[in-house]
């Protein structure tokens, strides 16, 4: 075992992919000389050169579309859109082109591109730099959406995503990059991105979450555990397609569920999951499924207001208690 950060894990995964497959290259704003807005690609320019660690102009639609086109052309591009906030400028390319090409062409073309972006709030970056739009992407057929929440997944998911012949959106929560954790000294690292992962087993209630909210969910489960409430914590890991089976089987055991999602409550992925539980496990439920989401406001800058807007460990604990009527 060795101790590395989530950021290191992403960087290792990038290096490995570049070494394994010469069709792989990384493109995006400041991935090269700057070393990446979150320093994920620091050092890679020296190792792989300008062609494969490709700095782009500020042109989200242009270079994301170019990544999609390069994938069509036989490459395996990794496009880094600095943050999901800026991806609002390239949604046309992702939704109208990447997600539809296979279908529109009657199965003639595939688009094996991986588009990485940082997501989420928690760093006092205010209203234009704190979105969590995972459910927007999870809504779109033709895309796969993944969200590594652990060091191991950060290390392993990229390669699994590159092996997918279709476009994959990879969300990296900005607050995770500095997280440290133990990881095996050597691979294999590949992750099964068709399956959700149980991060903690439990029998009284199921907490379903992903990405940046996983640490909060585990902390809540820990505290509740000390009080004798045993929570199962499910890390969705892949947001599209959802591992509904895993969700339902857990709820069938615990009969109670709380979904934690940093997206704004209305229209959130948490809503979708609640609906799927309604449809697939209604008669198993002892209490209504609860959601802990972000308040319905653009994210404020002030620390205390931002904290009040986002899902908190306390809010998760309270929600679990409510479903248990304790």
Partner 1 sequence: MREAYDRVDLTTEHMRDLAHQMILIRRFEEKCAELYSAEKIRGFLHLYIGEEANAVGVMQALKPDDNIVATYREHGHALARGLPATEVMAEMYGKASGSSRGRGGSMHICSAAHRFYGGFAIVGGGLPLAVGLALADKMRGNDRVTCCFFGEGAAAEGEFHESLNLAALWKLPVLFVCENNGYAMGTALERSESETDICRHAQSYQIPAAAVDGMDVLAVEEAARDATEKIRASEGPFFLENRTYRFRAHSMFDAELYRAKEEVAEWEKRGPLVQFKRWTIENDFLSDDDYAMIEQDVAVIVNDAVAFAEDAPWEAEEDLLKDVTTPAAAVL
Ligand X SMILES: Cc1ncc(C[n+]2csc(CCOP(=O)(O)OP(=O)(O)O)c2C)c(N)n1
Residue (of 148, 175, 64, 152) closest to 114 by Cα position: 64
Q: Is the CB of 224 or the CB of 299 nearer to partner 1? A: 299
Tell me which residue has tokens 């994959």.
Answer: 168
Q: Alpha helix (H) ranges present in 73-150? A: 91, 101-104, 134-138
Q: Is residue 57 a contact point for partner 1 (CB under 8 A)?
A: yes
| Calpha distance 118→298 (Å, rounded) | 18
Q: Total binding residues for a copy of itself by CB under 8 A?
A: 55
Least Cβ distance, residue 326 to partner 1 (angstroms): 26
Tell me which residue has tokens 């000389």.
Answer: 33
308 makes contact, choosing from ligand X, a copy of itself, partner 1, none, with CB < 5 to 8 Å by partner type, with: partner 1
Whole-angstrom CA distances from 172 to 69, 211, 244 are: 24, 7, 22
* Among 109, 178, 187, 286, contact with partner 1 (rule: CB under 8 A): 109
Fill in the per-residue mask, 233 to 272: x = in contact with partner 1 (CB under 8 A), - = not in contact: ----------------------------------------
Neighbours of 107 (CB within 10 A): 8
Q: Is the CB of 54 or the CB of 256 nearer to partner 1? A: 54
Q: Is residue 305 a contact point for partner 1 (CB under 8 A)?
A: yes
What residues from 151 to 210 belong to the interface with partner 1 (CB under 8 A)? 163, 165-166
Is 60 part of the annotated catalytic residue set? yes
> What residues contact 108, with CB distance under 8 A and at least 6 apart?
none
* Among 115, 309, 316, 320, contact with partner 1 (rule: CB under 8 A): 309
Neighbours of 89 (CB within 10 A): 15
Least Cβ distance, residue 43 to a copy of itself (angstroms): 32
Fill in the per-residue mask, 203 to 242: x = in contact with a copy of itself (CB under 8 A), - = not in contact: -------------------------------------xxx
Confirm if 95 and 61 have CB atoms less than 8 A apart. Answer: no
Q: Is residue 89 a contact point for ligand X (CB under 6 A)?
A: yes
Phi and psi based region of residue 30 (left: phi greater than 0; alpha: psi -120 to 50; beta: remaining): left
* Among 6, 18, 53, 63, contact with partner 1 (rule: CB under 8 A): 63
Q: Which tokens in the block code for residue 321?
A: 């208690």
The single residue of 129, 172, 173, 272 carrying the catalytic annotation is 129
Is 304 part of the annotated catalytic residue set? no
Q: Is residue 58 a contact point for ligand X (CB under 6 A)?
A: yes
SS3 217: helix
Least Cβ distance, residue 215 to partner 1 (angstroms): 20
DSSP secondary structure code for residue 300 in this structure: P
Q: Is residue 274 a contact point for a copy of itself (CB under 8 A)?
A: yes
The single residue of 12, 29, 60, 232 carrying the catalytic annotation is 60
> What residues contact 276, with CB distance under 8 A and at least 6 apart?
242, 244, 247, 248
Q: Is residue 67 a contact point for partner 1 (CB under 8 A)?
A: yes
Positions marked catalytic: 60, 129
């Amino acid at each position: 075992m060795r101790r590395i950060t989530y950021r290191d894990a992403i960087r290792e995964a990038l290096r490995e992919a570049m070494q394994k497959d010469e069709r792989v290259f990384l493109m995006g704003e400041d991935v090269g000389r700057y070393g990446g807005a979150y320093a994920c690609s620091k050092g890679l320019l020296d190792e792989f050169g300008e062609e494969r660690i490709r700095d782009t102009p500020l042109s989200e639609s242009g270079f994301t579309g170019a990544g999609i086109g390069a994938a069509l052309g036989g490459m395996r591009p990794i496009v880094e859109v600095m943050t999901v906030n800026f991806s609002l400028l390239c949604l046309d390319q992702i939704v109208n082109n990447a997600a539809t090409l296979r279908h529109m062409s009657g199965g003639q073309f595939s688009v094996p591109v991986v588009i990485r972006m940082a997501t989420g709030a928690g760093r006092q970056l205010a209203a234009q730099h704190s979105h969590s739009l995972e459910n927007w992407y999870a809504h779109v057929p033709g895309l796969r959406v993944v969200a590594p929440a652990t060091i191991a997944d950060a290390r392993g998911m990229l390669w699994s995503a590159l092996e997918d012949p279709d476009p994959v959106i990879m969300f990296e929560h900005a607050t995770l990059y500095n997280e440290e954790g133990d990881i095996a000294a050597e691979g294999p690292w590949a992750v099964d991105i068709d399956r959700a992962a149980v991060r903690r087993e439990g029998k009284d209630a199921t907490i379903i979450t992903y990405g940046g909210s996983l640490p909060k969910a585990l902390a809540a489960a820990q505290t509740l555990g000390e009080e004798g409430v045993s929570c199962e914590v499910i890390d969705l890991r892949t947001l599209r397609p959802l591992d509904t089976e895993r969700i339902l089987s857990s709820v069938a055991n615990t009969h109670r569920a709380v979904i934690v999602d940093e997206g704004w409550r209305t229209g959130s992925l948490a809503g979708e999951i609640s609906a799927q539980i309604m449809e697939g496990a209604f008669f198993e439920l002892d209490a209504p499924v609860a959601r802990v989401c972000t308040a319905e406001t653009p994210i404020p800058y002030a620390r205390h207001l931002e904290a009040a807007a986002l899902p908190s460990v306390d809010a998760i604990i309270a929600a679990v208690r409510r479903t248990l009527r304790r």
